[in-house]
């Protein structure tokens, strides 16, 4: 379910590293918790992001949720598709509905994120706690 | 993604909601389904076919005895004398200062018996408020434990429910009710709702709730009925511009400010809050509720500030996407002179002003 080549945060973001670029998204668990996603607010290309700070927000019909920066760096691309079809985040959160691409400024941060196995356990525990 | 901390209250259908896989949330201290298949899907089901809601968290208060009329009329804003037996009216329960204790439905069961449906999180307060004003010898009963309440809403609500009752539902007028039976169990069947669609709200014994819930879903299957949660209930009521306590109305808003002057009858006898309302009517109100539609990118949500010409001028009471209109809509308070359709406003969304325009309401009105 959770790709093993991704790293994850406890705030339910994922990052996939390709060279010096980190592709960032939200997890399937996050989209399920949010429900129907209707709006995605992303930073501009060129914005410098710091790990743990707010990256943007995702809005479902019901509520707004902040997205946090999983890895520090500069935004080199945002997923324009999400401005017109935010519902793609419900359909393909680990694939075509990535959020931003970040040029990593501190690649060592990646190793401190959760593995797929650890994230699955963490998200699973949250679900069963309901 | 938060864990419930204090023990939450549960409706008679709570175990069923969990079993059926509904997403549950803490709603004012109640463990309630926010969605089943999804808010958008449920919203469309109600607009096109039918939806079934558990609204058993709502409270019931019964006022009876020879002084029932006098007490009911003296604590509510609408004219109870206008009600015929078997009729219901939307009304306000006010403090002396004119702010809302709650918004309620008053059903006339008989000359000496009124049945009030009140908001879940206000029910204890409402009961105390009414009982404290019982200078008469009316009997005031906190009746919530005796009732479960289901709402069947949508164009196919009548056809669905008709399969389970001998009462001719088409003969029940809007805001009227009949005491009869659903699936063989005693039921108060009211043609009321909180969605802007045709539909019914039924009051039944708690021990019958699960069986009747299942029978309604079976009866409505051929029409595409869906179980619905409070998420869709909120988007539906917002499109229909129906007030939600704690948002459009609360202790420091009056019916005139909330654009609910039609539920205030100043030509009836004295009622709690009347003097304050008379004074406000004479002086004029300062702010008023008005609808808006977002034109900029973003969703104006509850509590966001509204700016007029660069100045903070009001706040959003309810806001979100309208699945029917495919726009982002909402309601807000503005200075009364600007609380009319066509005004350019800005809503502060995460410290950024985003453009919107005030708009006519209701946003959605069903074709009759």
For residue B89, pLDDT over 90 is answered with yes
Q: Which of residues 81-140 of B touch A (CB under 8 A)?
A: none
Average pLDDT over residues B341-352: 96
Mutate to test the interface with B, among A33, A34, A61, A64 (most CBs of B within 10 A): A61
| pLDDT at residue B135, rounded to an integer | 87
Q: Is A110 on the interface with B (CB under 8 A)?
A: no
For residue B213, pLDDT over 60 is answered with yes
Contacts by A122-128 with C-beta closer than 8 Å and gap 24+?
A122/A8, A122/A10, A123/A2, A123/A12, A123/A27, A123/A29, A126/A29, A126/B1, A127/A29
Average pLDDT over residues B267-275: 97
Q: Is A28 on the interface with B (CB under 8 A)?
A: no
Query: Cα-Cα-Cα-Cα dihedral of A99, A102, A107, A112, to 10°?
Result: -20
pLDDT tens-digit series, residues B142-159 = 999 999 999 999 999 999
**CATH superfamily membership of B14-56+147-239:** Probable tRNA modification gtpase trme; domain 1 (3.30.1360.120)
Q: Is B3 on the interface with A (CB under 8 A)?
A: yes
For residue B190, pLDDT over 50 is answered with yes
pLDDT tens-digit series, residues A11-25 = 999 999 999 999 999
pLDDT tens-digit series, residues A102-124 = 999 999 999 999 999 999 999 98
Minimum CA–CA partner of B229 in chain A: A62
Tell if the CB–CB gap between B350 and A62 is shorter than 8 Å: no
Helix (H) or strand (E) holding B168, with range, is none
For residue B6, pLDDT over 80 is answered with no
| pLDDT at residue A130, rounded to an integer | 45
Tell if the CB–CB gap between B350 and A57 is shorter than 8 Å: yes
How far, CA to CA in Å, does B101 sit from each of B30, B64, B70?
20, 21, 19
pLDDT tens-digit series, residues B216-225 = 999 999 999 9
Q: Is B34 on the interface with A (CB under 8 A)?
A: yes
Average pLDDT over residues B226-246: 98
Q: In this structure, which topology does domain B59-142 adopt according to CATH? A: Alpha-Beta Plaits (3.30.70)
Tell if the CB–CB gap between A41 and B39 is shorter than 8 Å: no
Task: Name the CATH architecture for the domain at B286-359.
Answer: Beta Barrel (2.40)
| pLDDT at residue B2, rounded to an integer | 46
Average pLDDT over residues B180-191: 98
When the pLDDT of each residue in chain A is averaged and rounded to a whole number, the result is: 95
Where is average pLDDT lowest: A46-60, A115-129, B323-337?
Answer: A115-129
Task: Name the CATH architecture for the domain at A7-106.
Answer: Beta Barrel (2.40)
pTM attached to this predicted model: 0.94
| pLDDT at residue B318, rounded to an integer | 98
- The candidate with the shortest Cα–Cα distance to B32, out of B316, B254, B232, is B232
| pLDDT at residue A1, rounded to an integer | 85
Domain ranges of chain B: 14-56+147-239, 59-142, 286-359
For residue B162, pLDDT over 50 is answered with yes
Query: What does the alpha-carbon distance between residue B149 and residue B167 come to, in Å, rounded to a whole number?
Result: 18
Cβ-contact B307, B353 below 8 angstroms: yes
Percent of chain A with pLDDT over 90: 92
Tell if the CB–CB gap between A35 and B321 is shorter than 8 Å: no
For residue B32, pLDDT over 70 is answered with yes
Q: Is B2 on the interface with A (CB under 8 A)?
A: no
pLDDT tens-digit series, residues A27-36 = 999 999 999 9
Among candidates A36, A64, A83 on the partner chain, residue whose Cβ is nearest the Cβ of B39? A36
Computed from CA positions of residues B243, B245, B248, B253, in that sequence, does the dihedral angle turn out positive or negative?
positive
Percent of chain B with pLDDT over 70: 98
| pLDDT at residue B5, rounded to an integer | 54
């Amino acid at each position: 379910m959770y790709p093993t080549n991704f790293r994850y945060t406890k705030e339910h973001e994922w990052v996939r590293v390709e060279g010096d670029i980190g592709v960032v998204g939200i997890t399937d668990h996050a989209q399920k918790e949010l429900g129907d996603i209707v709006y995605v607010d992303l930073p501009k290309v060129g914005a410098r992001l710091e790990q743990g700070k707010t990256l943007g927000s995702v809005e479902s019909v019901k509520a707004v949720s902040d997205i946090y920066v999983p890895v520090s760096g500069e935004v080199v691309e945002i997923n324009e598709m999400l401005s017109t079809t935010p519902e793609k985040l419900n359909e393909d959160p680990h694939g075509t509905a990535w959020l931003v691409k970040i040029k990593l400024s501190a690649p060592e941060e990646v190793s401190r994120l959760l593995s797929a196995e650890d994230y699955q356990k963490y998200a699973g525990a949250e679900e069963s706690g309901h | 993604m938060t864990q419930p901390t204090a023990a939450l209250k549960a409706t008679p259908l709570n175990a069923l909601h969990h079993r059926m896989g509904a997403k549950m949330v803490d709603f004012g201290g109640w463990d309630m389904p926010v969605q089943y298949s999804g808010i958008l899907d449920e919203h469309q089901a109600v607009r096109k076919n039918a939806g079934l809601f558990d609204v058993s968290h709502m409270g019931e208060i019964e006022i009876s005895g020879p002084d029932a009329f006098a007490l009911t009329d003296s604590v509510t804003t609408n004219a109870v004398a206008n009600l015929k037996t078997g009729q219901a009216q939307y009304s306000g329960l006010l403090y002396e200062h004119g702010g809302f204790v709650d918004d309620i439905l008053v059903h006339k069961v008989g000359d000496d018996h009124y049945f009030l449906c009140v908001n879940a999180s206000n029910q204890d307060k409402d009961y105390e408020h009414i009982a404290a004003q019982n200078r008469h010898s009316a009997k005031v009963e906190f009746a919530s434990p005796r009732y479960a309440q289901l709402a069947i809403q949508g164009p196919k609500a009548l056809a669905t429910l008709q399969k389970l009752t001998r009462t001719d539902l088409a003969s029940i007028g809007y805001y009227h009710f009949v005491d009869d039976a659903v699936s063989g169990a005693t039921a108060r069947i009211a043609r009321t709702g909180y969605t802007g669609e045709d539909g019914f709200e039924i009051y039944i014994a708690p021990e019958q709730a699960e069986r009747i819930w299942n029978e309604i879903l079976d009866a409505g299957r051929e029409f595409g009925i869906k179980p619905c949660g409070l998420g869709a209930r909120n988007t539906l009521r917002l499109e229909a511009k129906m007030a939600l306590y704690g948002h459009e109305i609360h202790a420091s808003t009056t019916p005139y400010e909330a654009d609910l002057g039609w539920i205030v009858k100043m030509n009836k006898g004295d009622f709690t809050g009347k003097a304050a309302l008379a004074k406000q009517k004479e002086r004029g109100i300062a702010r008023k509720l008005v609808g808006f539609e977002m034109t900029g990118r973003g969703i104006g949500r509850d509590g966001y500030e509204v700016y007029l010409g660069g100045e903070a001028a009001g706040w959003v009471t309810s806001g979100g996407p309208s699945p029917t209109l495919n726009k982002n809509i909402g309601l807000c308070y503005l200075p009364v002179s600007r609380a009319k359709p066509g005004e350019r406003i800005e809503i502060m969304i995460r410290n950024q002003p985003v453009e919107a325009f005030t708009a006519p309401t209701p946003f959605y009105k069903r074709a009759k």
